[in-house]
Amino acid sequence: MTATAPITQDVLTLPRKLPEGGKVNIVGLTREQLRAALIAAGTPEKQAKMRLGQIWQWVYHWGVRDFAVMTNLAKDYRAFLAEHFTIEIPEVVSRQVSADGTRKYLVRIAGGHEVETVYIPEENRGTLCISSQVGCTLTCSFCHTGTQKLVRNLTAGEIVGQVMLARDDLGEWPVPGAPKDETRLVSNVVLMGMGEPLYNFDNVRDAMQVVMDNEGLTLSRRRITLSTSGVVPEIARAAEEIGCLLAVSFHATTDEVRDKLVPINKRWNIETLLNTLRDYPRLSNSERITFEYVMLKGVNDTDADARRLVKLISGIPAKINLIPFNEWPGAPYERSDWERIEAFADIVYKAGYASPIRTPRGEDIMAACGQLKSATERARKSSKEIAAEAGL
Ligand code: SAH
Ligand code: SF4
């Protein structure tokens, strides 16, 4: 396989509509799509807007999965909905809870494929890390998901469904009549699970539109962070069409090293990436970009790297998130020593950037960054292949 071959968007996405005669899953449809689907199924156009609002509230505010419960709709209309639509989210196959409270869900999606979703509780908030693809077309050499070939893109429903299944498990849907609890368990969403979100652009955008809608799940666009390895042409689009916060898997300060760690760099190198990033905050009207930087012993962790890093990003409103490398079986790298990570953080901090070191969470259940990989490893790459693709 050549270095650029895996970089492709041309992958299978399940059709949103089920085959002729099948039912349409409401979950993941944007308001506009749901309205159109209601009309296509026979809802009079004049009523569609009102029906849409009612259904939306049942599904995304109350977490209801059964049309029969939608008591503000006429009985006949509920029967009509049940005949044409479903309200389906992916199934949780297993749930592991780490000693630190992190929860990892193994989630089964149509076709029997599996992805992982991770919930990380923090004081007064909680972050849900969701997946956008089964596997990944990219082959970052330090990432466990990168060892799994891409199986398929998730549908918008499967992406939104991850937020809903976490709320199910955490018991977070509101209870009618109960006092409103302002502390949200799933207060933030990060697209940092399996897959490259910008290679599944339309579904990720539609899903985020549903999640950000101000009636229903109501997560503001500032509570959603999309992490990309650097798919340059899609970054400006993300600013305009999604508008959430952006994180970039930067990880190296020279093209030579980045080519090996994040092979997409061979297509869009550091300079090209940075030029695009300079425009993101203005285009998306957001404050800072997060630069993710995985600390790999002897590879990208010197003082000179830290100094180059701050020089490269100067002028970009940024925060640098240092991620101690999370090991996985067969990984060709080691985590930098703690003193090294701190020395690196110090240089970055003194240059005026926030430089939090991401505390690994859920390591005991392989739920930490880059450790995700589902049990269905139909097309596993060999460690030789990984090393060859990374040019190691
Ligand atoms: N594909 C996207 C999002 C998923 S990866 C991306 O690459 O940005 C989420 C973050 O975890 C990325 O910054 C990724 O580089 C990092 N990561 C991957 N493997 C890791 C590992 N083994 N240890 C620490 N961080 C890792
Ligand atoms: Fe894919 Fe991101 Fe892993 Fe790279 S780091 S292989 S882009 S999931």
Question: Are the C-beta atoms of 149 and 379 separated by less than 8 Å?
Answer: yes
Which residues, including other chains, have CB under 8 Å from residue 33's CB and lie 6 or more apart?
16, 206
Mutate to test the pocket of ligand 2, among 196, 227, 381, 385 (most ligand atoms within 8 A of CB): 196
Residue nearest atom 4 in ligand 1 by C-alpha distance:
192
Which residues are identified as catalytic? 116, 369
Q: Is 282 exposed, middle or buried (0-12, 13-18, 19+ CB in 10 A)?
A: exposed
Residue nearest to atom 21 of ligand 1 (CA): 370
Q: Ligand 1 centroid to 94 CA: how many Å?
A: 23
- The reported pLDDT for the residue numbered 13 is 43
Can you tell me which atom of ligand 1 is nearest the CA of 251?
15
Alpha helices in 122-200 (DSSP H): 156-170
| Residue among 137, 138, 389 to mutate when testing ligand 2 (max atoms within 8 A of CB) | 138
Instruction: Tell whether 195 is in a known binding site.
Output: yes
Q: Cα(261) to centroid of ligand 2, in Å?
A: 10
Q: What is the pLDDT of residues 68-112, one digit of tens each?
A: 999 999 999 999 999 999 999 999 999 999 999 999 999 999 999
Cα of 145 to ligand 2 centre, how many Å? 6
> 95 has which bridge partners?
105
Write down the residue that tokens 């930067």 correspond to: 250
Which residue in the block uniquely carries the two structure tokens 């506009």? 32
Structure tokens at 380: 């596993």
pLDDT per residue rounded down to tens, the chain (392 residues):
333 333 333 334 433 444 455 899 999 999 999 999 999 999 999 999 999 999 999 999 999 999 999 999 999 999 999 999 999 999 999 999 999 999 999 999 999 999 999 999 999 999 999 999 999 999 999 998 878 888 899 999 999 999 999 999 999 999 888 777 778 999 999 999 999 999 999 999 999 999 999 999 999 999 999 999 999 999 999 999 999 999 999 999 999 999 999 999 999 999 999 999 998 877 676 679 999 999 999 999 999 999 999 999 999 999 999 999 998 888 999 999 999 999 999 999 999 998 899 887 877 777 766 666 654 443 445 555 545 555 55
246/192 Cα distance (integer angstroms): 11
Question: Domains in the chain, ordered, with CATH?
Answer: 28-86 (1.10.150.530), 91-390 (3.20.20.70)
The predicted model scores a pTM of 0.90
Provide the pLDDT for residue 209: 98
